[in-house]
Structure formats: structure tokens, C-alpha cells
Amino acid sequence: MLIDLSGKTALVTGSTQGIGRAIAGTLADAGARVAINGRTPDTVEAAVDALRADGAGRDLVAAPGDVTDEAGAAAVLAASGDVDVLVNNLGIFGATPALDITDEEWRRYFDVNVLAAVRLIRATLPGMTGRGWGRVLNIASDSAIVIPEEMIHYGVSKTALLAVSRGFAKEAAGSGVTVNSVIAGPTRTGGVERFVYELVDPTLPWEEAQREFMRLHRPQSLLRRLIEPQEIANLVVYLASPLASATTGAAVRVDGGYVDSIVP
């Protein structure tokens, strides 16, 4: 399949590393002008330089700012320009016993994992519908469906993101704009590697630690390994393309078979 996003501008939040960075690079390879986002100018510029070094001809723009804050989000959008493809990738996670999660921590997870996405959708959706084309993609998680006992606040925030996606898809109905969630399974990123070592013996070599983590904490996975960020990016870029014009209001899984269900 030929995916051509030439002439489109994409904003990927939290794209200086991990899944977001893989998505940004793959969107750029498809011809999109991609706004790279992180909280500080230094980290964003470093990511832009690395992405350009990894792929010749990538059209990238720095869009630093904290999208969990109204002023920061406004600055990011001003640097991005008119957004045709919005990828709400920013998210936080971490293991905390259920009864130890404070009100403050519940609010922080909601602000970062849900409200930041809602804020950017509100800001960009009118322009997309006015132009008659657009894509909104919210990066969710298998934890939205299989709530992990070690971080229920994270799981609940991602469940909310599925509802946000479905609701805004209804708002965009008939406009040529699609809104979807991507349910990502356990993925190998720097943050996840640290998380793995919080839950298994930190002296184990990585490959052994990964196998132990999957065996003990993610036994439902049919891949029996962590997913690579590029595997997530491949689905996201398809959904961002004109080829996915009939997919909207959906929660599309790239989870390695982790969710034990025969329906999406």
C-alpha cells in the first residue's frame, strides 16, 4: 500500500522518544510535515536532529511546550500551524499499590493522559472539519481494557481515552474527519524497561528480564515479547492516511494479542 501524506501537517505529542518518536518519523517518511513535541526546547531540538539524521528529507518542525497546560498547548499549536493529523501520544504510567494512590495522583493522571488530549482535540477539530479532512488518533493501551492491579489509575485514564475518542468521532460525523483510539500492547521503550526492572529482579540481563516480566505480569500476550515502537507506528500511520477513511470511532488493537477478546 502506498501511503502519501504530502501536504499534511501532523502534531505528535510526547514525540522526543519511544512510541511518539517512532510515529513522528514514520509520518514524516510518508510525506507529512511533522511537529515534534516535548516539554523543553533542548530535548525537542535534539529529537529533531536525530530524526533528520535517521531519515533523509524528513520535514520536521520543533514544537516545544507542556500540553498539559493551556498556555503550553497554545504555544505548541502556534509552532505547529494548521494541524491535519493529531496524535495524542503523551502519557504517564507507573506502578503504585491501589490503596496508596492519592487524590493528587489520580488528578495528575487524568490531567496528563486525558485532559491534555481533550484540550488539543478541541483546538484542532474545528479546523479539520472546516477543511473537510483530518485525523485524530489517541494512543491508548491494553490497560484500558485489562486494568492492571499495579496501576489502576493508569488503566482508568486510558479507559477514559477510549470514550473520548468515540465521543469526538460522533462530533466529527460526516465531516471527512476520523477519530480513533489505538490500543497499544506492552511496548519496549526506555520507560517500560525501567518499569520492567521495578517488577522483576534488577540484576537480570534484559532478555531474561523481559521474558520474566511477560511470564509473570503479562501472561496473556500471544507474542510473548514486548512490541517494538515501530510496530505501533505502522498502524498509526495507516490510520492517519486516506486509506483508513472508513475507520472512525474505533478502538484498534496493536497489542500482540494481549487482550483476550475476538472483537476489537
* Phi (first) and psi of residue 225, to 5 degrees: -155, 165
Between CA 10 and CA 54 the distance in angstroms is 18
Choosing from 154, 197, 238, 258, the catalytic residue is 154
Per DSSP, the chain holds a count of helices (H) and strands (E) of 9, 7
Between CA 58 and CA 48 the distance in angstroms is 10
238 is catalytic: no
Q: ∠ CA 79-27-55 to the nearest 5 degrees?
A: 95
- With a CB cutoff of 8 Å and minimum separation 6, the contacts of 256 are 185, 186, 221, 222, 223, 225, 227
Residues labelled catalytic:
154
